[in-house]
Amino acid sequence: MPHQSFLNRLLDELRPVLTSRSEKAVQNMRNVLLGIEEERTPQSLSPRNSYFADIFWSYNEIHQAHDRLKLAQELLSGSSRPDVIAYHVEKHLEEVYILKGRMVAFARKLKRLLLRKNDPKLAAMIKQVEETIESSFEGIVKTRGSHVHEYRYADFELKRLVTIDLLVENGEMKELADLKREAIDANLERWGRTMKANIEAVEILLDKLCEMVTPIVFEILPPPKS
């Protein structure tokens, strides 16, 4: 997959820094990448190492959001409690929105670097990539809503499931237990399908992004090796 190949190339650039124990600047860089120190790009690093450290941090945020999408799908499949099902659905849709924002931010970072390098033609191409990301996520983001911290995702079937659960567990209406089981199965099946489709669409877009920016990130923008 192109997005995995892109990550592997980034790691190949950083591996000598991460495994070295000699120079102070290299050790500093290693500590930053491993989260031991907070500063991301120490001034004592070479321009090339600083560049790839910055690209790594930006792409790592995309990678983490992508992994959390898959984690929500995995956790949903093992859920049986209605409130847990609703929680994983909401987290999945929230991470879709976060991933979209991080991919757009990554494209904008590359566009700024290209403009600094006085390459407006490639910067314009990256602008088109940014617009493609925005439009591709539009349907999924509208499903959740952009203000992820202001209100919870509202879905009639999920709300119905949680309500039935309240009646069975708190209202002790055990005669609704079969209806609750049916609602659990229906939501697991529907949202399992939806999450799978969302992840597949995201991975296609992520692959396209990585394919388009690979020569820019690894050949056009990097400072030369010292």
Alpha helices in 78-176 (DSSP H): 82-116, 120-144, 156-169
Q: In whole angstroms, give the CA distance from residue 5 to residue 3.
A: 5
**What pLDDT was estimated at residue 47?**
87
Alpha carbon 46 to chain centroid distance? 29
CA distance 188 to 59: 31
What is the DSSP secondary-structure string of 36-104? SSS-SS-TTS-HHHHHHHHHHHHHHHHHHHHHHHHHHHHHHHT--SHHHHHHHHHHHHHHHHHHHHHHH
User: Which residues, other chains included, contact 42 with Cβ-Cβ below 8 Å and sequence gap of 6+?
Assistant: 25, 28, 29, 32, 50
Contact 70, 199 (CB under 8 A): yes
pTM: 0.81
Radius of gyration, alpha carbons of the chain: 22
Q: Let me know: does 157 contact 186? Beta carbons within 8 Å.
A: yes
DSSP-derived letter for residue 175 is G
Q: For tokens 């090796």, name the residue.
A: 225
pLDDT of residue 168: 85
Given a cut of 50, the residues of the chain with pLDDT beneath it are: 144-152
Q: Give how far the C-alpha of residue 62 lies from the chain's centroid of Cα atoms, to the nearest Å.
A: 4
What integer pLDDT is reported at residue 166 of this predicted model? Answer: 87
Is 96 within 8 Å of 71 (Cβ atoms)?
no
Domain ranges (residues) in the chain: 63-220
CA 104 from centre of chain: 11
pLDDT on residue 146: 41
Percent of the chain past pLDDT 90, that is, above it, reads 49
